[in-house]
Amino acid sequence: MKTLITETDIRDGVARLADDLAVHYGDQPVTIIGVLTGSVVLLADLIRRLEMPLRIGLVYASSYRGEMTTRGPLTIDSDMLPDIAGRNVILVDDIFDTGHTLAEMLKLLGEHQPKSIRSVVLLRKLGRQEVNIQPDHAAFEIPDEFVVGYGLDYNDAYRNLRFIAVLEPGDLAEDSP
């Protein structure tokens, strides 16, 4: 695999995201909704940098399962979603790829009548969008390659990498570590 974004660059990108959110919300309370499982690392690092009052909720959404490297049907489980009516909501996800997950999540959250919704992603993949929306905040733009690390996985492996890497064809053919 080849390193695309270093640990230091990720730390700087997360700091920029936190600064942007602090400017936008100031001291207003927010509810941060993390999209499981890929956003867990970003969510943890991001909330440690925020000083406004916040609550956390989690939603499971997935369109990549097992050894898939192309999008499949989207599954969303919102059973752990807290009450967000009348609250400022920040939706946090690992990657904006085709945009279908973000579009469906924004629709789902909007049905709960929040005061506002903003979206944050670590990565915006260029050239793959199939929807007419964009995340409000993205730390990095990346080429159209399959990436792992910092929460992103291939067949449930590589989430623990402290950097973002591109899997090469040989990596996809090998068994997961």
**More reliable by pLDDT, 118 or 64:** 118
Provide the pLDDT for residue 41. 97
Question: Is residue 3 included in any domain, yes or no?
Answer: no
The pLDDT value given to residue 176: 46
Rounded to an integer, the average pLDDT of 16-27 is 97
What number is the average pLDDT over the span 130-153? Answer: 96
Query: Is residue 32 scored above 80 in pLDDT?
Result: yes
State the catalytic residue, choosing from 97, 136, 144, 171: 97
Q: What angle do CA 151, 175, 156 make, to 5 degrees?
A: 25
* Residue with more model confidence, 43 or 81: 43
Name the H helices within 48-177: 100-110, 169-173
Domain total for the chain?
A: 1
Q: How far is CA 79 from CA 35, 83, 106, 118, in A?
A: 12, 11, 16, 21
Question: Average per-residue pLDDT in the chain?
Answer: 90
Q: What is the CATH number of the domain that holds 28?
A: 3.40.50.2020
Q: What is the DSSP string of 30-49?
A: EEEEEEETTTHHHHHHHHTT
Active site residue 20: no
C-beta of residue 81 within 8 angstroms of C-beta of residue 112:
yes
| pLDDT tens-place string over residues 98-135 | 999 999 999 999 999 999 999 999 999 999 899 999 99
For residue 59, tell me if it sits in a domain: yes
Give the global pTM.
0.89
DSSP-based three-state secondary structure for 151: coil
The Cα–Cα gap between 47 and 37 comes to: 16
Using CA atoms, how far apart are residues 156 and 31, in angstroms rounded to an integer? 27
- Flag whether 101 is in a domain: yes
The encoded tokens of residue 12 equal: 């700087």
Region of 132 (left: φ > 0; alpha: ψ -120 to 50; beta: rest) is alpha
Q: Are 38 and 94 in contact (CB under 8 A)?
A: yes
Q: Is residue 67 part of a domain?
A: yes
Residue percentage of the chain with pLDDT more than 90: 76
More confident site: 87 or 62:
87
**Residue 134 contacts residue 104 (beta carbons within 8 Å):** no
> How do strand 164-166 and strand 147-148 relate by DSSP bridges?
antiparallel
| pLDDT at 35 (0 to 100) | 94
Residue 79 belongs to some domain of the structure:
yes
Q: Which residue bears the tokens 């973000």?
A: 102
Which domain covers residue 64, as residue numbers? 8-142
Segment 65-70 mean pLDDT: 51
